[in-house]
Amino acid sequence: MENEKSNIKYLKEEPIKKTILYLSIPMMIGMSAGTIYNVINAYFIGLVHDTAMLSSITLGLPIFTILMAFGNMFGVGGSTFITRLIAQNNSDEAKKIAGYTFYASIITGLLIGLIGYLLMNPIIRLLGSDMTTFEYTKQYAITLFVGGFSIILNFSLEQIVRSEGASKESMYGMFISVIVSIILDVLFILVLNMHVYGAALSMILSNIASSAYYVWYLNVKSENLRGFLHYIKISINSQVEIYKVGVSQLIQCSFLIVTTLLSNNYSMQYGNNIVASFGIALRIAQIPEFFVMGIVLGVMPLIAYNFSNKNIPRLKESIKYSALFIFVIAVVFSGVVYIFRTQVIQTFSVDTSVIEIGTYVLVAMLVSALFNGVTSLFMTIYQASGKGIETGIMSISQGGLYIPIVILLNYFYGLDGLIWSMTVTEIITFLIGAVLYIPYSIKLKKASTKNKVSLI
């Protein structure tokens, strides 16, 4: 039990800088492992040298994104609520929330799988499959839908584990998923020649493996959640606490799919070199996101815990140093890449038009990175504090604003408007988050002087 107590101790009383590093570094490593996980299937399918197969797993990616979003809905909503309950020494209710989240994830996955199976052909066409990729995409989609419960469950449990500050254990589960996926990809794709079926099946089984580890940890090692599998029913009020925060993940996912389709469609109108330029710049700009997401995911239970037990000085210190770390990462990375922007793009392409446009696109994305990290922190603060309205506003702003902005800027300014549309969206969303933080900060200030002031 010493390990579990030390996790809670970090949330409760260890020095803030030390705590943020303790919680965030494993998540940064885990995020890197997740990136590897995302390219594993594509790599092994690529070894088969069949373009249609490779295209099919790309076309099937939105299915995985939707399943992941439902997992995050239960995970973020459930884990932040659990942390607040633990801070109030209400472990019995925390176990009920964990149990409900576990079973709701499985049931939701099975329902989505059934709906997906019944509407399979229309879904395959909606994904953009043509005659050459239809059957392969269908094979991939069927397997994902049938085993989709494991993806929802894995993403949900991974965050429930972190509700006690167990970032290292969360990372271990990510590593298990990656290792199992690599082994099964080799077996199914290269040895047994299951190809697309094998790629999807390895994904399902790797999620089951990591979910099994998380269940073992929660039921055996967890200080507050042991025995959670015995619970399935919770009150309506508790369900509201979960969904008022968790539903924002579904909103973000929905907008993410729409914005991706819009961006791709507009980029293609300007030619393949523009599409390639966006793809290269996006991959480069995503690098600091691993570190930023590691911080925001790591500090989520820290903020939730201290918000719930009304340790206002520690809560404010957590937010201050998290913002400082995020800002330093964004500034240092953006500054270095900006200085060597041409050389960076040249490592990906020798096409002069791609280098020219890619450098321009990269500058716009680096400006976005300066705002995106703190915007993500705003979102995390509101999620961890159980602020459903603020969380919903941020989710809608981050995704929904891009749609009218890219349409208008592309119409009036052409390619320049398309390139800077995401930057404009990020700046506006950052400003919205900052405005929402004003009343939140005022409540913290009042609560620090009057212990009876409610933060909820």
Give the helix/strand (H/E) hosting 339: helix 312-339
Q: What is the pLDDT of residues 183-197, one digit of tens each?
A: 998 898 888 888 888
Q: What is the pTM of this model?
A: 0.81
Pick the residue with more confidence: 316 or 455?
A: 316
Question: Which residues have C-beta within 8 Å of that of residue 419, sequence separation ≥ 6?
Answer: 360, 361, 364
DSSP for 76-88, please give it. HHHHHHHHHHHHT
How big is the CA angle at 173 (ends 172 and 178), to the nearest 5 degrees? 95
Q: What is the pLDDT of residues 143-182, one digit of tens each?
A: 999 999 999 999 999 989 988 888 889 889 988 988 898 8
Q: What is the mean pLDDT of residues 9-25?
A: 86
Q: What is the pLDDT of residues 49-107, one digit of tens each?
A: 766 776 677 677 788 888 988 998 999 889 989 999 998 889 899 999 999 999 999 99
Return the pLDDT at 5: 47
Instruction: Give residue 285's Cα distance to chain centre.
Output: 16
